[in-house]
Structure 1
Amino acid sequence: MLRLIKKRTNAFNFPSDQNNNFFEGPGIGSLIQNVGRLNILYFAIQDFPTLTEMYGNEWSENLEAQIRTGIESEGYEHLQHNEFHIFSFNGGEFFLLDPTECKAGLSLEELAYQFKVNIENLVKSDQISRTGNTITINSGHSSFHASQTNNKLWSGFLSAIGKARLEAQNNADISNMELSKEFCDIIAQSKVNSHYQPIVNLAEKKIHGWEALARGPQNSPFRSPLTLFDMAEKLGKLFQLERICREAAISSFGEINPHQKLFLNIHPRTIVDPNFSSGETKILLDRWGLRPENIVFEITERHSVKDFITFRKTLDHYRNQGYMVAIDDAGTGYSGLSSIAEIKPDYIKLDKSFVDNIETSRVNRAIVETFTDFAEKIGGKLIVEGIETQSQAVAMMDMGVHLGQGYFFAKPAKIKPKLSLEALNVKKTPDLKNDHNICGIPVKNLATPVDSVEINTPVPVIQDFFEQEQSLSSVTVVKNGAPCGLIMEYNLNKHLSGKFGVALYTNKPITSVMDDSPLLVDLETTVENVSTQAMARERNKAYDDIIITKNGKLFGVVSVRKLLDTLAHAQVEMAKGTNPLTGLPGNLGIEQEIERRMKASQQYSIIYADLDNFKVYNDTYGFKSGDKIILLISRIITWATARHGSDTDFIGHIGGDDFVQVISPDKAERICLAITRCFKRLVKTSYNAKDNTNGWMEGKGRDGTVSRFPLVSVSLAILDCTPEQSLFEIGEQAASLKKWAKSIEGNCWVRERRQL
């Protein structure tokens, strides 16, 4: 049966007075009767009936909707008008009818191919997350000429439809397209350049490396790397294209720090190609001042590897020369976790589909956390792609993800971009607890004097150091008095314990076994800050000694054990009577403050603060996001009290989302007004884009029923008190007043005045 698909033109910015010519039902007959010709583009999802049987009707309906949207978008972009129509005879197939002369500068065959590549990419991420694989779209084309008599119009139209279908089934030879000639010209003249996108160390908020992304000529269909590589694979020119891309990426890269990386995308079939030579890449690196240690071969996991044993041996060969390996699109495509475990990549890249709804999706959070742990256990690092918002970045930092990439940090650019200011200032949830340090002790108080050796010292000399000084756990390597490396005893023993270890390192300098990027801190850095940096290090270095400097010169070292013992003792002392999340005084401190006011015969007001709809938010977004909201309200209360109150005002945290302020009666209402206004504005940043736009969220209530709930709000109850009131009386009156405040929807405050 003919199924006409109504275009959603209102999604695009076309003038409202244009004729959109929607057709439904028999309207298609009117279309073919009133046009001289129609250009027909045909798209069919390969193996659609089988896939529908495997994945279900919900999957197929979702995919069809995405493809319809993609065809519409491509139509508006390439045809430059809105007179086209889209319809379908059967599930999984689509026809675009264009009654105008094609102005895209491409043949119909090339236009259909361009649509196909872009639509496949549009649905790629969603399909990977749903099925673990991508889908293939077959494309065809034909033209319908309305020169027949009316009784033959329909049969002529069906004949044109059939021709388009047949071409899609036959997979037309693209080598004769004008597009293929343009592509060959790009290859012949190396018309490819590189854009770079930073990969960020989330713990340190520093650039770890850059991924090189190929770009074709401006205003060309091959500007997109998707079209570029799809054509290369079909024409058998993948190796030539990747070589040009590598040359462009390396030659334009510029200067970097010794430990930063350049990620080069490479097809798994290319790396085992006999023509692929690391020597060729090495010559390029030498010419542009880079080393193999700076290069990461990023291999897409979505392509099959026919000879896996040869592939793995080839990777080992390049690794032995210093190159590193990343697996892209982890968990999707052909290889799966078992193959990743065998390859043991230095980096695992997780597709952006796992980032979507990370704030509320427990499944996606579990997947990311599992991959983070998996990467560590095989000695690698996890890179999560597609981080586009601050909330996504915070979620990744909270889960301990090693590296991140996405528009939130920086968009790809021809000259290596710096991190955005927003990215530099982002903090994971635990970092938001206090702006001040819990432990203000400078690390210099813990420094242990240490002997140092010059950079050219032979390995056996260091071995003698450790044998003579049994208590020594590390030796610092210096150059002109400035520390440049660290030797941990356990790490040296690991190098020397092999079968030929001692003989291998006998005549080598200490640089061959030292850690050339140890943690260096200034002597005035606080113990808390140093411990945070120490625990953010790579897993295998987390308990190495920390080098302390003064004006860039060696001052001493401190062990992680000594650091954590000092910090734990300080935190225990400070935690007595304070809330562990906000650092505000708890119940004991609140009672002491009220008793102090009573003894001083002071009149005072108490403001009770409580959050509404907090439980459903906590259950949906997770406990760490819930903690973030509690920290937000505590900061707002602290800010409003400092701005509008007096120096003698008191703030306490009863627990959970309940807070208490003890203040002067004349300041209470102004403080409450500031709190409600500020919280209403800032709480929106704690929601994802969808919930924020809706102004409500969906979640389970206390009865287990899924409902819509308003955004979290704050209810404030002001209770004016006299010195004669007992704590019990205050508690009873406060409970009644809080109930009244919470009965009012939204951010609000109420006040009960007592006769003073």
Structure 2
Amino acid sequence: MPAVLDQVRFAFQPLVNLNTGGVVAMEALARLPGHHVFELLDAAVQENRLVEVDVGLAVRAVSSATEHETLLPLHLNLQAETVSHGAAVLDPVREILAAAGRRTREVTLELGGQLCHLAADTVLRAVDELRAAGFRVALDQLGATDVPLGLLADTRADLLKLDRRLIGGLPRDRDRVALLEALVHLATRSRAGLVAVGVEATHQLNALRRLGVHLVQGNLLAPAARRPVDRVSIATPVSEATDPGTRLATPVTAGPRVTEFLHPAVTLPATATAEEVRRVLADRPTLSGVVLVDEQDRPLWTVDRNRFLLAVTGPYGHALHAKRSADRLADEPRTVGTATTALEVLDVVAATDPQRRYDDVVVVDDAGGCLGVVRISDIVRGMAEMKVEEAAALNPLTRLPGSDAVAHDVHRRIAEGQVFAVGWLDVDGFKGVNDTAGFSAGDDLIRAVGRSLTDAAAALSSVFVGHVGGDDFLVVAELDDVVPLVSAVLDPPRVVDGRAVTLSLATLVCAPGSVTDHGEVSRLLAPLKQHAKALRGSSWVMGRPGSSRIDVLRGTTAPSQRQPDGSPTHPQWAGGVG
């Protein structure tokens, strides 16, 4: 078996942050000439030597990365069964890391294999031991391996890596889109990074951007290579109209989390000399600074590239500083936690010395350890792009968001198990308004309805309003806010060019588990809307998934829809909100 291990070679594939365009880590991929590495692992299982072989591969991966002198964080693949024996089995990995001058915090262990065959307590205990040893933990090949859902939540993994088969159907496969949306939601709530693996085509990349997956890996960006690469070229996103099957990521009012802009930090001990810092900066021309840390990886100082080099390269600078501690030319770090939003980072920056306004900000974990740095230029650019996307999605007449934003609000409420109502509102006979009063009067009417909805929503915290085109509006609200919203919109009389105008509203009450997505809500609203349009005056009808009952809450039945005795043709329309 050792002879076979000696034949293994390693290729390195970068993990790329789409928000910054930077390489954030490098995965070491084992290559066995003429065979797949899984064949080697299967043979090791048969000989009861899996731990020995698995750890041996990890040691050789670190050795190969060290030969290429890469400073990027390293990802190593391990079988879950291996780590279930405890962190002690990884002592050889820690030893070679120490010999190479690397910290365990710079290494992420990607756990693969069949976790369902292991006791959950065993896996959780092993993960805790790995974290205590300083390693970061990722769950690998989600969608291809059997990871119990409870374990997926309980491990609190730093990264969740999607199997390439999960993204293969993007953007057309609606079921895959829904699954990815759920995983994005899980990752956001658990503060884990979500990595899409196997990105091979531009349409997949565009779909992942729109879904909110910002960490990717695949041949489209950079294939696995013998030498690690620290920069890649990312395709510019094309128009969203090319991917109609994929929805936009859920908008976050306070902006994205700072971790979405994370760069790997280059760290040195707080005792490092100015000459050691200078050599690191000279070897990496794109590096903006260095973080000086203590023995627990907590940031003590940050060294800004420009100010440092001005000091050491000026007259007598090298003689004055080279052998002395680098912290003499450093600044106190600006640190933020992983839950900090991009807007909050900008607030921190605004309150600091103008000379340091564009210095990197250090992101720390709950223990205060350095996770990486964010560059202010990335955050400013990211926030600007977010604002442009938001503005482009607004209806030009009412400045209300469109159907994508409404869809995500619906999906959020479904995922949270809320009871809510979705309403579809439009103007009765709107074409007649345009034909008789002119399109300008029609535009004014649409603006007036939009203002009524916006004003009502401002006073009702649960209400979300969207303008999906023409005279059609969508509203989403908790049940307690539905009646005051409807009153605010339907009560005021509306007149255009001396002609009374009425509105029709169809509402679907959604209980937890009654609907699966926005598309189903849309289909169920369509027949309700037909009933509402058949009524006289401003109308409001309400229905529920799985029930044929339709409650008429406003409007009267037209004579043609009454029976000879004067009763409605559809007696189930009578009723109240209950």
TM-score under structure 1 length normalisation: 0.35
Q: Which has the higher contact order (CA 8 A, sep 6+)?
A: 2
TM-score under structure 2 length normalisation: 0.45
